[in-house]
Amino acid sequence: MENYISMELSEAIRLRHSVRKYTDQPIEADKVATLKDAVARCNAASGLNIQLVLDEPKAFNGLFISTYGQFTGVRNYLVMAAPKGKEWEEKVGYYGEQLVLLAQTLGLNTCWVGLTYKKVPDAFSLREGDVIHCEIALGYGANQGKQHPLKPAERFYEADGPIPEWFKAGVEAALLAPTAVNQQKFKFLLQDGNKVGTRTFFSPWGYTIIDLGIVKYHFEIGAGKENFEWA
Ligand SMILES: Cc1cc2nc3c(=O)[nH]c(=O)nc-3n(C[C@H](O)[C@H](O)[C@H](O)COP(=O)(O)O)c2cc1C
């Protein structure tokens, strides 16, 4: 999979937190153009059908049963559409997170949303076989969110030899990534010095493969793609 964005991404990783409350400040035209261009490139590289929806307040405006995911003021979002299947789910995570971190470098805030949104059919178009895997709220946050609690990195990897610095940096970047309900059901496996495998674990919430795509993108930024190969 391709990663074409190379702006201060490690800083964006540290600054990003899920934001669920947005102001009504519109996204400036030049930033919209940058986002649209990135969406088009992600779609071309992946075959996904990601769509940027602007100034559409209905999807996130309503009462939800759960207190998890109370959103206010969301009027811009990404619709993450693609066919069904694990391969597509991983791409949704990998490419969606590129857009999330790009948005962060533009001074925007985001939140991945798997559950608490309504589908507004006029706002997007699906190809035959596409489903909406999730959406990503986007805009100027009323706050910057807060850092989720960090767990010890050792719980998230296994290695068949000594641990290089780049591998640690990759795992640390992955631990800062968003995952559904902060479930972090992943592990990185270091083999033969420079091969990195992954494992996911069961979650009753699902979303573990989208999460995997997200954390693999963070790992690449933290570790440096030149230092390893995916196993
Ligand atoms: C695939 C996915 C689905 C998510 N779905 C929701 C959701 O439906 N509602 C919500 O409020 N947050 C949702 N989140 C945000 C997570 O709760 C959040 O990423 C996690 O708690 C870690 O916090 P952070 O993003 O601030 O680091 C989702 C995140 C991911 C990656």
pLDDT digits (tens, 9 = 90+) for 151-189: 999 999 999 999 999 999 999 999 999 999 999 999 999
Indicate the residue among 106, 139, 172 that finishes a domain. 139
Flag whether 107 is in a domain.
yes
Flag whether 145 is in a domain.
no
User: Is residue 91 within 8 Å of residue 48, measured between CB atoms?
Assistant: yes
Q: What is the rounded distance in angstroms from the CA atom of residue 73 to the CA atom of residue 49?
A: 25
- The closest of 69, 79, 53 to 21, measured between CA atoms, is 69
pLDDT at 194: 96
Boundaries of domain holding 74: 9-139
pTM of the model as a whole: 0.95
pLDDT at 67: 55
Can you list the positions of beta strands (E) in 23-114?
49-53, 76-83, 109-113
Number of domains in the chain: 2
Dihedral angle sign, alpha carbons of residues 220, 97, 26, 48: positive
Please write the tens of the pLDDT for every residue from 127-159: 999 999 999 999 999 999 999 999 999 999 999
Tell whether the model's pLDDT for residue 4 goes beyond 50. Answer: no
- Average pLDDT over the chain reads 94
Residue 20 CA to ligand 1 center (angstroms) comes to 10
Q: How many CB atoms lie within 10 A of CB 223?
A: 23
- With a 6 A CB cut-off, is 178 part of the ligand 1 pocket? yes
Residue 161 CA to ligand 1 center (angstroms) comes to 34
Flag whether 168 is in a domain.
yes
Please give the backbone phi and psi of residue 134, each rounded to the nearest 5 degrees, phi first.
-175, 180
